[in-house]
Amino acid sequence: MAGSGCSAGSTATASRGPDAISIGFTAEPANLDFTHTDGAAIPQALLYNVYQGLVRLDQHGKIQPLLAESWTLSQDRTVYDFHLRAGVRFSNGAPFTAEDVRFSVERVRTDWTISLKSAMDVVDHVEVVSPTRARVVLSRPSNNWLFAMAGRLGAMFSPTGVADLANTPVGTGPYQVVQHTRGDSIVLAANPGYWGPPPTYTTVVLKYFKDATALTNALLSNGIDVISAVTTPEQVPRLEHDTRFQVIQGTTTGEVVLAFNNARPPLHDVRVRQALTYAIDRRALLDVVWAGRGTLIGSMVPPTDPWYEDLSGAYPHDPDRARALLAEAGQTGLTLRLRVPNLPYAVSAAQVVKSDLGRVGVGVDIEPLDFPAVWLKQVFTDHDYDLSIIQHVENRDITTFGNPRYYWGYDNPEVARLLAEADQGSEAEQVEDMRRVARTLSDDAAADWLFLLPNVVAAKKRVTGLAVNQVGDSFDLTALGRAAG
Contact between 110 and another protein by CB under 8 A: the answer reads: no
Instruction: Select from 70, 139, 342, 426 the one that contacts another protein (CB under 8 A).
Output: 342
Residues 221-250, interacting with another protein (CB under 8 A): 221-223, 232, 234-235, 237-238
Instruction: Select from 14, 128, 146, 329 the one that contacts another protein (CB under 8 A).
Output: 14
305-334 mask for another protein (x: CB under 8 A)? ------------------------------
Contact between 20 and another protein by CB under 8 A: the answer reads: no
Residues 461-480, interacting with another protein (CB under 8 A): none
Instruction: Give me the least distance between CB of 273 and another protein, in Å please.
Output: 21
CB nearer another protein, residue 35 or residue 304 = 35
Contact between 11 and another protein by CB under 8 A: the answer reads: yes
Q: How many CB atoms lie within 10 A of CB 213?
A: 13
Instruction: Select from 211, 240, 328, 443 the one that contacts another protein (CB under 8 A).
Output: 211
Rounded Cα distance between 59 and 250, Å, is 10
Residues 399-438, interacting with another protein (CB under 8 A): none
Contact between 189 and another protein by CB under 8 A: the answer reads: no
Residues 264-283, interacting with another protein (CB under 8 A): 281, 283
Residues 27-86, interacting with another protein (CB under 8 A): 30-31, 36-39
Residues 90-109, interacting with another protein (CB under 8 A): none
Burial of 384 (0-12, 13-18, 19+ CB in 10 A): middle
CB nearer another protein, residue 69 or residue 234 = 234
Contact between 202 and another protein by CB under 8 A: the answer reads: no
Contact between 254 and another protein by CB under 8 A: the answer reads: no
Choices 216-224, 304-312, 329-337, 459-467; region in contact with another protein by CB under 8 A = 216-224
Residues 137-176, interacting with another protein (CB under 8 A): 166-167
CB nearer another protein, residue 34 or residue 71 = 34
Contact between 195 and another protein by CB under 8 A: the answer reads: no
Count of residues in contact with another protein, rule CB under 8 A: 71
Residues 365-384, interacting with another protein (CB under 8 A): 366-374, 376-378, 380-381
